[in-house]
Structures are given as C-alpha cells and as structure tokens.
Amino acid sequence: MRVYRARDRYEPSAQFRSWLFTIARRLVVDHARRQHIAWDSRPEALEAASGPERAEHAAEATELRVQLERAIEGLPAGQREIVLLSRVAGMRTDEIADVVGSTPGAVRVALHRALRRLATALGVRAHDGTT
C-alpha cells in the first residue's frame, strides 16, 4: 500500500529497488519505534544464505552459521545493516547508499570495515591479505 500511495513521488531516474527498500526500511523503523523496541536490521533470512548442506557436514555448517550470526550481531547496527543489504539482499553500494541515506563511498568504507571485523571474529584471513 505504501508503494502505491507513494507512486507519484517515485523518480523514474532512480533505482526502483532502492526506492522500494527505502520504503520498507522506514516501515520497519517506524514499527520498531511504535513498539518501543530497538531496531535490529538482522533479517531472519540468514538461514537461507547457508545453502544446501550434505548430511555429514550439517553439524559443522550449523556451528559456522551460529558463529556467523553471533559475529553479525556483534557489528554496530549501521555496519550490520550494510552487510545484510549487500550480502543477503545482494544490493550494490549505490543502492545501499540510497536506502540508508549515505554516500556510496561511505557504504564501501563501512562494508570493508564490517567484513574485516567479521573475518577477525571468525578467525579467517581477509581476502586483501591484511589479517
């Protein structure tokens, strides 16, 4: 309904997906404020990101998923949101910047820092070889 009601405010030159995510994000934040709960941008879609698992690796995959969820929960809220929009929702940095009201450069920096924090928390080397 919100998208339909806001249709006259959509700029055709803008990314529709970013506009849609912005509306959805604002609804979630508004709902959380009304319910007096701290907004956690962590969607339950993390389980879907684990992919198909073979039976012999199920225990290891479950433990890794739990570690990853904990590491993501340990990120500052802004970094957590950017990681999830990037890695779970598959959004580009310019789209994420539109959604969170930032610049693509700031999103790239926050994403880089968040991924380094996750790598450290999980005890893995970062792809850039700095950890």
Residue 69 structural domain: 2-40+56-122
- Give the pLDDT confidence score for residue 26 in this predicted structure: 74
Percentage of the chain beyond pLDDT 70 is 66
3-class DSSP assignment, residue 101: coil
Q: Tell me whether residue 131 is in a domain.
A: no
Q: Tell me whether residue 48 is in a domain.
A: no
pTM: 0.56
- Band (131; pLDDT cuts 50, 70, 90): very low
Q: Tell me whether residue 82 is in a domain.
A: yes
The position carrying tokens 């012999």 is: 56
Any idea what the CATH number is for the domain that residue 16 is in? 1.10.10.10
Q: Tell me whether residue 128 is in a domain.
A: no
Report the C-alpha gap between 53 and 57 in whole angstroms. 7
pLDDT per residue as tens digits for the range 11-66:
777 777 777 777 777 776 676 677 665 544 444 444 444 444 444 455 666 677 77
3-class DSSP assignment, residue 3: helix
Average pLDDT over residues 94-122: 93
Q: Tell me whether residue 35 is in a domain.
A: yes
**Domain tally, the chain:** 1
Q: Tell me whether residue 130 is in a domain.
A: no
- Band (130; pLDDT cuts 50, 70, 90): very low
With beta carbons less than 8 A apart as the criterion, state whether 67 and 56 touch.
no
Q: Tell me whether residue 127 is in a domain.
A: no
